[in-house]
Amino acid sequence: MTRIDDTFARLRAENRKAFVAYVMSGDPDAETAAQIVRGLPGAGVDIIELGLPFTDPMADGATIQLAGQRALEGGMTLDGTLDIVRQLRAEDDTTPVVMMGYYNPIYSRGVDRFLEQAREAGVDGLIIVDLPPEEDAELCLPAQAAGLNFIRLATPTTDDKRLPKVLQNTSGFVYYVSITGITGAGSASAEAVGPEVARIKRSTDLPVIVGFGIKTPDAAEEIAAVADGCVVGSAIVERIGRGDSVTDVLAYVKSLADGAHRAG
């Protein structure tokens, strides 16, 4: 059982939905990013997604691309990202952290070395968007052997033929991308998402969390009501990018978390 598994077990017992928040490591700077990450649990966040900045973030829209650029220009690295996790773990040993990003920095570090360092820092799971199931031997299977969940994305174009392949080595939860396209594009609709979540749940016992296109507390509630929870990323990162204070960012996150938790 990982922290992710424990969190979903607790939420099920409480009849509550999960709220997941994404922030970019090192944005707008290392110190501020660490303050935000450490404040997320108190703002009602059940699982933290921590972006690993990368120079070629092909799945991300402009908001998260710019956040990654700010982080890289400020000197954020893989080691710096792990250090932010360690800072959280110094005061919170229960809130799961999922590192989300691309394979290149991990490959450059070396998979075995990275997994050892990630576990030591307190990372619980990985979402690596450019490693398809056909490449599970690269990182997915070693990660799970090391005790980290490997979370896969399913999308509106993941048909019934492809879905079993996506699910076969997934653990922790399934991340359903509610819209076709990059992060920050469009708005999620419960009417469209609900049947897709139900279709996925017919093929897995894992929780299904919905992300992309959620920007308001009402939208968080609406989407969480038809899934096991929701993810908000670009809308939070946008506020960080425009210079909102840590207090204001966390207040916004709390409003979203409250919305998602109303759906329970």
What is the Cα–Cα distance from 73 to 85, expressed in whole angstroms?
Answer: 20
Predicted local confidence at residue 221, as pLDDT: 97
Identify any residues that bridge with 63 across adjacent strands, giving them in sequence order: none
Predicted local confidence at residue 243, as pLDDT: 97
What is the Cα–Cα distance from 102 to 81, expressed in whole angstroms?
Answer: 14
Predicted local confidence at residue 213, as pLDDT: 86
**Spans in the chain with pLDDT lower than 70:** 180-188
Active site residues: 49, 60
Alpha carbon 94 to its chain centroid, in Å, reads: 16
Work out the burial of residue 138: count CB atoms within 10 Å of its CB; fewer than 13 is exposed, 13-18 middle, 19 or more buried. Answer: middle
What is the Cα–Cα distance from 173 to 262, expressed in whole angstroms?
Answer: 21
Predicted local confidence at residue 179, as pLDDT: 73
H-only helix segments in the chain: 3-13, 30-39, 62-73, 78-89, 103-109, 111-121, 140-145, 163-167, 190-201, 217-224, 234-241, 246-262
Smallest CA-to-CA distance from 99 within 23, 170, 32 is with 23
Predicted local confidence at residue 230, as pLDDT: 97
Residue 262 in contact with residue 92, Cβ under 8 Å?
no
Smallest CA-to-CA distance from 207 within 173, 175, 176 is with 173
Residue type (1 letter), 5: D
SS3 18: strand
To the question of domain 3-262 being in CATH 3.20.20.70, the answer is yes
Domain residue ranges of the chain, discontinuous segments joined by + = 3-262
Predicted local confidence at residue 178, as pLDDT: 86
Query: What order of strands is seen across the sheet that includes strand 229-232?
Result: 149-150, 125-128, 97-101, 47-51, 18-24, 229-232, 208-211, 174-177, 152-154
